[in-house]
Amino acid sequence: MDFRNVVLRSTVAFISFFIVVGMALSQSSSQVSAQRAVRQARSARTSMLVSTDWLAKNLRNQRVVILHVANDRKAYDNGHIPGARFLGWSEIVAAKNGASNELPPVAQLKSAFEKIGVGDTSRIIIYGDGNGLTATRTWFTLDYLGHGSRAAILDGGIEKWKGENRALESQSPAYEPAAFTPRLNPSVIATTETVRDYSWVSSNMEDPGVAIIDARTAEQYAGAPNTRTGHIPGAASMYWQKHLNEKDRTSMKPLSELIKMYHDLGVKPGDKVITYCNTGVQASHSYFTLKYLGFDVSMYDGSISEWTKVQDAPLKSGSEKK
């Protein structure tokens, strides 16, 4: 047999073997990704988000308490969803140690919810004005108080409600105060030490099982070289507005798309996740979204505002997470 033919056949067989192996590995990887997506979808907490159709059908439900959360009453008084009660932003955030938007004392939160009639059996529906961050921060607060399982956010908020030409009213509804019992869930809050541990693991291990999500813009994440800016080492960048549909910038993207976004970022089913931003407001949207997707998530309430005050806490500039 011609030696060149033997070599050629051997080479073809060798290449074919690796093509087959490569295809098998690729298919295996795709199958694993698909299986992970299915598993994550099954873990989703879909009751955390309600549609405008659902709310319209439940406006007269006595258990449903609708909260309009905003900095001031002007937008509320100009027109709110029928039956909605006004909750002032200053009632649920406080300044602590030079950082704004921190959780106030539990007694203050208890009083804030009780006086607007949020009780222990209420089904709480939240919306805010503008970009919806007041709504997600309120949901986080209720989750901290042990009432997250009974709270949901109105998908699309009042902007979607208005866009569908649904009814509005300008008068505040009549309601009675209610008994609201805090059942603290401290695990939703990540401490600086926990973030430091996650940062090291995420930066140094191949399959860390933990993830840190920076909810700020890519520019804030990158920071500037040789300055006290940038991101926590090991954190991945996912600007919170990427959760929203590009068309209206108020409603959430489909569940499957959100799962894929975080899968592509390297967040896997079973991972423990921490979100952060500058002061714990943008991060509340990421916290809500990841919780909605079924992840085990906590939020670093002090965020960069607190991290930069810790003398030896590192910050990394640039677009790479490690």
CA 302 to chain centre: 16
Average pLDDT for runs of 10 along the chain of length 322:
40 40 50 63 92 98 98 95 98 85 96 98 95 96 99 98 98 97 98 96 90 97 85 97 95 97 96 97 98 98 94 90 67
Q: What is the pLDDT of residue 27?
A: 53
Q: What is the pLDDT of residue 99?
A: 75
Q: What is the pLDDT of residue 32?
A: 52
Q: What is the pLDDT of residue 8?
A: 33
Domains contained in the chain, number: 3
CA 160 to chain centre: 20
Same domain membership, residue 51 and residue 23: no
- Domain residues for the domain of 196 are 189-307
272 with 201: CB under 8 angstroms?
no
Last residue of a domain, one of 152, 185, 218: 185
Same domain membership, residue 57 and residue 36: no
CA 79 to chain centre: 28
In a domain, 280, yes or no: yes
Last residue of a domain, one of 185, 209, 227: 185
Q: What is the pLDDT of residue 17?
A: 44
Q: What is the pLDDT of residue 2?
A: 43
In a domain, 321, yes or no: no
In a domain, 318, yes or no: no
Quick one: which H or E segment has residue 41? Answer: helix 3-43
Quote the pTM value.
0.88
Give the dihedral sign, CA 265/267/272/273: positive
